[in-house]
Amino acid sequence: MESHIETILWNQNQIASRVTELAAQISADLLDSPPAAFVGVATGAFLFLADLVRQINLPITVDFIRVESYGCGTESSGKPRISSDLKLDVCGKHVILVEDIVDSGRTLECVIEHMKLKGASCVSVCTFLDKPSRRKIHLQLVGQAKFYSGFQCPDYFVVGYGMDFAESYRHLPYVGVLKPHFYK
Ligand code: 5GP
Ligand code: MG
Ligand code: MG
């Protein structure tokens, strides 16, 4: 698979140490609050969520929500929709949304609003990657809500560690930039 990758931006060790730092930070912030509900945005967040929650030594719940906006290309359609909802009730809970990458912010805006409608008392965000240069939406985090981010990502289309191109490359244990040849 490495022959499909132009550059590796973060390797397995770099990812593991950053996830450990994030888990420590979140755990410290959660110490004095009621049990939090971790919600992964499927499918992209599945590896990050799994690595993160295994280092949270507190009573929490774990669930997934599925949002689709990308289709098969490298540009967002701009209209995210929830295609599979939560299994657990988050009313009155502190929700921590776990995302692979925040780009325009539209997906997160949609999920944050959805959690508020379900009565979540607080909606924090933990994203593995953040592309602030591409943000179109100013995310409304209220009250005690926090925004955690693993790494700032340059403006490339990246794959691996959960992130796909046309549903491939999600299983790569590192994050890399796909060679243009494979998506053009
Ligand atoms: P947004 O709604 O913030 O524009 O996009 C969020 C979603 O688009 C992410 O959760 C992710 O699934 C997808 N996305 C954005 N940038 C990238 C990227 O560089 N690579 C991949 N594979 N997916 C991306
Ligand atoms: Mg995502
Ligand atoms: Mg995708």
Contacts 24+ apart (CB under 8 A), 79-83: 79/106, 80/106, 80/107, 80/110, 80/111, 81/110, 82/110, 82/111, 82/114
Token pair in block for residue 172: 């790569």
Residue spans per domain, the chain: 12-154
Give ∠ CA 49-53-58 in degrees, rounded to 5.
Answer: 155
Enumerate the H helices of the chain as residue ranges: 12-30, 46-53, 106-117
Predicted local distance difference test score (pLDDT) of residue 3:
87
pLDDT at 147 over 60: yes
Predicted local distance difference test score (pLDDT) of residue 76:
61
Predicted local distance difference test score (pLDDT) of residue 71:
54
Report every protein residue that has its C-beta within 5 angstroms of ion ligand 3. Answer: 70, 164
The CATH code belonging to domain 12-154 is 3.40.50.2020
Predicted local distance difference test score (pLDDT) of residue 1:
80
Give the separation between CA 73 and CA 34, rounded to whole angstroms.
40
Which pLDDT tens digit goes with each residue over 39-92? 999 999 999 999 999 999 999 999 999 998 755 566 666 689 999 999 999 999
pLDDT at 121 over 70: yes
Q: Parallel, antiparallel, or unpaired for β 61-68 and 122-130?
A: unpaired
Ligand 1 pocket test target in 100, 104, 133, 139 with most atoms within 8 Å of CB: 100
Of the two residues 143 and 99, the one the predictor is more confident about is 99
Q: Could you say which of 29, 103, 155, 164 is catalytic?
A: 103
Predicted local distance difference test score (pLDDT) of residue 149:
98
Residues with CB under 6 A from ligand 1: 41, 44, 69-70, 76, 80, 99-107, 157-159, 163-165
Instruction: Answer yes or no: is the ipTM higher than 0.95.
Output: yes
Predicted local distance difference test score (pLDDT) of residue 70:
56
**Cα 69 versus chain centre, distance:** 14
Measured in angstroms, how far is the CA atom of residue 151 from the centroid of ligand 2? 15
